[in-house]
Amino acid sequence: MGLDDALVFTRVVECHSFTLAAQALGMQKSTVSRRLALLEERLGVRLINRTTRKLRLTEVGQAYYERCRQIMLDFAEAEQAVMQLQQEPSGLLRISAPIEFGQLFLGKVLGAFMRQYPLITAEVELTSRHIDPVEEGVDIAILVGPPQDSTLIARKLFESRRRLCASPEYLASHGVPEAVEDLAKHRAILLPSDSPRYWPLLGENVPCQRVLSCNNITFAREATLAGAGIAALPLMISEYGVRAGELVEVLPQVRLPVGEIHAVYPSRRFQAMKVKTFLDFLMGNLPLEEGQLLEPATARLLTLAL
């Protein structure tokens, strides 16, 4: 009886009307009014001041409403959790992701997920923009770094480490840096997160000779492979080149900033089953080695070596 009365009280507050609350609850208006009066009598307090035109919560009523509302949310979430145990993920899944991550990893994982759950359809946007999942109606946004909005939920997928790389041809022409200070003499290929004046190193301010700036890590890798200069490339797109001898890691002892890749979504509460199931599937199917992503070519190279 107490929970039912709390539900009636909550509906009255949220509808601002006995009539509308009665319609929402499928009750007579007189029944709603009587139930609220009995609740106030049982509690020994007035929860709502009533006039012919409006309802206004008392101070005690406001506090009681906040507690009741939370109980109703928890109850609805519990019901949803039980129902989802009997359901298969379905519906439209909208995802945004960085271009390289989408091309190298997301397409394969999402394809396998859709094969396993055929009731799922998907829309994917690969972009370098910083997506706001709430504003743009995206279920999951894969982002570099934490979300700017603290109300969003961020699940860390992996760390993105970088290394200084150059082609053998570039090093043959310009020499191999032996110390951090030597980088000041070398040509720099920079990404948007890099300073235009200094090499992207932790704890070091070494001036750089910028010869190329770009907003795409694959573009930077290809320019590096062609001998344009030295770049701080993520392991996820440079590991194969290093293992195959097409790239050379320069000054492996230096420390570079580590990026974090997050899956960002609006809320844990009432999280759609399709979202939770896909995030778990994604984490279980990324090709990780010691917390780092292996680009597909690297994974194939390691398989052949076994």
pLDDT at 281: 95
Residue 31 CB coordination number (10 Å): 14
pLDDT at 82: 66
CATH of residue 39? 1.10.10.10
pLDDT at 291: 61
The reply to whether 34 and 80 lie within a common domain is yes
pLDDT tens digits, 139-150? 999 988 777 776
The reply to whether 144 and 115 lie within a common domain is yes
Residue 180 falls inside a structural domain: yes
Are 104 and 297 in contact by the 8 Å Cβ rule? The answer is no
Residue 202 falls inside a structural domain: yes
Q: Which residues contact 33 (CB under 8 A, 6 or more apart)?
A: 18
The reply to whether 140 and 169 lie within a common domain is no
The reply to whether 264 and 156 lie within a common domain is yes
Residues above pLDDT 70, as percent of the chain: 89
Helical ranges in the chain per DSSP H: 2-15, 18-25, 29-43, 59-84, 99-101, 107-116, 133-136, 168-174, 217-225, 235-244, 273-285, 296-305
> What is the Cα 229 distance to its own chain's centre?
33
Alpha-carbon separation of residue 152 from 76, 108, 266, 285 (angstroms):
21, 26, 5, 24
| Encoded tokens for 301 | 């190279």
Q: Is 200 exposed, middle or buried (0-12, 13-18, 19+ CB in 10 A)?
A: buried
Domain residues for the domain of 216 are 162-249
The mean per-residue pLDDT over the stretch 108-116 comes to 95
| Encoded tokens for 266 | 């609006």
Residue 254 falls inside a structural domain: no
Q: What is the residue type of 122? A: A
CATH of residue 276? 3.40.190.10
Q: Give the span between the Cα atoms of 247 and 99, in whole angstroms.
A: 22
Q: Which of 84, 100, 127 is the last residue of a domain?
A: 84
| Encoded tokens for 304 | 């052949």
Give the residue, 49 or 51, on which the prediction is more confident: 49
Residue 18 falls inside a structural domain: yes
The reply to whether 268 and 203 lie within a common domain is no
The reply to whether 155 and 194 lie within a common domain is no
The mean per-residue pLDDT over the stretch 105-134 comes to 90
> What is the Cα 103 distance to its own chain's centre?
17
pLDDT confidence bin for 299, thresholds 50/70/90 = very low
Q: Is the model's pTM score more than 0.75?
A: no
Residue 292 falls inside a structural domain: yes
The reply to whether 264 and 140 lie within a common domain is yes
Question: Considering only 6-15, 171-180, 204-213, which range has the smallest mean pLDDT?
Answer: 6-15
pLDDT confidence bin for 295, thresholds 50/70/90 = low
Structural domains in the chain (count): 3
pLDDT at 86 over 60: no
Residue 278 falls inside a structural domain: yes
Residue 273 falls inside a structural domain: yes
**Average pLDDT, whole number, for the chain?**
86
Residue 71 falls inside a structural domain: yes
Helical ranges in 85-216 per DSSP H: 99-101, 107-116, 133-136, 168-174
pLDDT tens digits, 235-289? 888 988 999 999 999 999 999 988 888 998 886 555 678 898 999 999 889 877 6
Question: Considering only 16-30, 164-178, 218-232, 257-271, which range has the smallest mean pLDDT?
Answer: 257-271
The reply to whether 187 and 222 lie within a common domain is yes
